Chain A
Amino acid sequence: MGLLTHNMLSSNIRGVVNGFPLRIEAVKVVEKNVEMNTDFLKNMFEKIDWKAFVEASISMGYTELPKEADSSLLDSDDFLNRFHHALLELHLEEGALVCPETRRRFPVSKGIPHMLLHEDEV
């Protein structure tokens, strides 16, 4: 699971008001090579919740992202490279996602988060 997906996922448990962002417990992180597309990055930049994105990248062991970002940074190639790397190339292979409210753990194995809820959580 990449950080793009992480930035979209929220906890879906009944009664949870703000299930975003899920905290990452990283056990194994892998890097995959993805071709860079500047237009896509610019498009995604507006949708990404930056604070959650930076926190997630730090918990994956990547600390090169600026704490604050606005769209003026998108003209810098250096920033785009880092953004691209964190957004699409870092993948959580093994670990877990933790709901910020209920502390419920969603395990991640082989890169796939298991988001199935139990009967009493729906």
Chain B
Amino acid sequence: MGSRPEAVAPPEIFYDDDTARKYTSNSRNIQIQTSMTERALELLNLPKDGVPKLLLDIGCGSGLSGEVITESGHHWVGLDIAPSMLDIALDREVEGDLLLGDMGQGLGLRFGMFDGAIGISTIQWLCNADKSFHNPHLRLKAFFTSLYKCLTNGARAVFQVYPENDDQRELLSSPAMKAGFSGGIVVDYKDSPKKRKEYLFLVCGQEVPLPLPEGRTEDNDDSGSETNKTVHVLDRRRPWKIQKNNKSEKGREWIKRKKEQMRRRGDDVPPDTKYTGRKRKNHF
């Protein structure tokens, strides 16, 4: 995978005129971006009734992904934070409308307008705190909450991501679940380190979560078979339920451990005796 651009600099600085131009003229990059967009559109599973839909392209950049949407016959609106990338999109005369904005500030879009949303290599940028007043959790929350609002009921959103580890996967997906989406992560080519691609797959406003689409594998490029399930399913979190379970485990061992922790912190803790953690009698 090489170096991660989001580890180098904030997006509006990383994608300066020079990088933006290189990014858009590199044929290998174009090919990768195009194939990922095609896959994302496939996962969106728009009704094939010939009616153009309105899609949102988060982090549209120079419009590589937008062109794929145009080719498949849909209208789109693109949002990006890097002015240099948008300049290139203008030069390339893309069909969609462009907005300069920061997804972490929430999308200022009206309710129920879009039939779907995609983001190619976009939302991992939200995991970084690039400015002193940035808080990744709040920015992700603002983004997913506003995204949920602007999608129509039953619409899907697909984000191609490169999570560094499970923690980042959780960081990205848990605010989406809290915002009301259901879904999970679809992994394509999970056994190939080079071709492996992950997509955060979200469905808006479905009471019963849909089964996740299956990931692609080497031997089965178009449709996965039973043996090739490569998805993680994320449930909506129910903190109150988890808490209830924890209560029963607060026995003697738990108290001892906590007391040990407090001692290490230097607090004044009574010594452990045979009475520690013993249940009080019903009457004094």
Q: Chain B nearest CB: distance from A6 CB in Å?
A: 9
Question: How many Å from the CB of A111 to the closest CB on chain B?
Answer: 7
A33 shortest CB reach to chain B, Å: 11
Given contacts A110-B90, A112-B100, contact A9 B109 (CB under 8 A): yes
A44 to chain B, nearest CB (A): 7
Interchain CA distance A10-B113 in the complex, whole Å: 12
Given A4-B97, A43-B51, A115-B101, decide whether A9 and B108 contact each other with a Cβ distance below 8 A.
Answer: yes
B108 to chain A, nearest CB (A): 3
Write out the residue numbers on chain B whose beta carbons fall within 8 Å of the beta carbon of A113: 99-100
CB-contact partner of B150 in A7, A8, A114, under 8 A? A8
Q: Does B5 contact A (CB under 8 A)?
A: no
Can you pick out 26 interface pairs between chain A and chain B where the beta carbons lie within 8 Å of each other? A1-B99, A4-B54, A5-B77, A8-B109, A9-B99, A9-B110, A12-B105, A12-B108, A40-B51, A40-B75, A47-B113, A110-B87, A110-B90, A111-B90, A111-B97, A112-B90, A112-B98, A113-B99, A113-B100, A114-B100, A115-B101, A116-B101, A116-B105, A117-B105, A119-B131, A122-B133
Please tell me if A37 contacts chain B, counting CB pairs below 8 Å. yes
Q: Which of A47, A49, A110, A117 contacts B102 (CB 8 A)?
A: A117
Known pairs A43-B51, A116-B100, A116-B101. 5 more at Cβ < 8 A?
A: A8-B109, A9-B108, A20-B110, A39-B50, A112-B99
Name the B residues within 8 Å of A95 (CB-CB).
none
Q: For B86, what are the chain A residues with a Cβ–Cβ distance below 8 Å?
A: 112
Interface positions, chain B 49-87, Cβ under 8 Å from A, are 50-54, 75, 77, 81, 86-87
What chain A residues lie within 8 Å of B277 (beta carbons)? none
Known A-B contacts A8-B113, A39-B50, A40-B51; A115 and B97 likewise in contact (beta carbons under 8 Å):
no
By Cβ-Cβ distance, the 6 closest A-B pairs, closest first, are A12-B108, A115-B101, A5-B97, A39-B51, A40-B52, A114-B100
Whether B133 pairs with A12 at a CB distance below 8 angstroms is no
Which residue on chain A has the smallest CB distance to residue B133?
A119
Shortest B134–chain A CB gap in Å is: 10
Q: Which residues of A64-122 are within 8 A (CB) of B?
A: 110-117, 119, 122
Chain B nearest Cβ from A71, distance in angstroms: 16
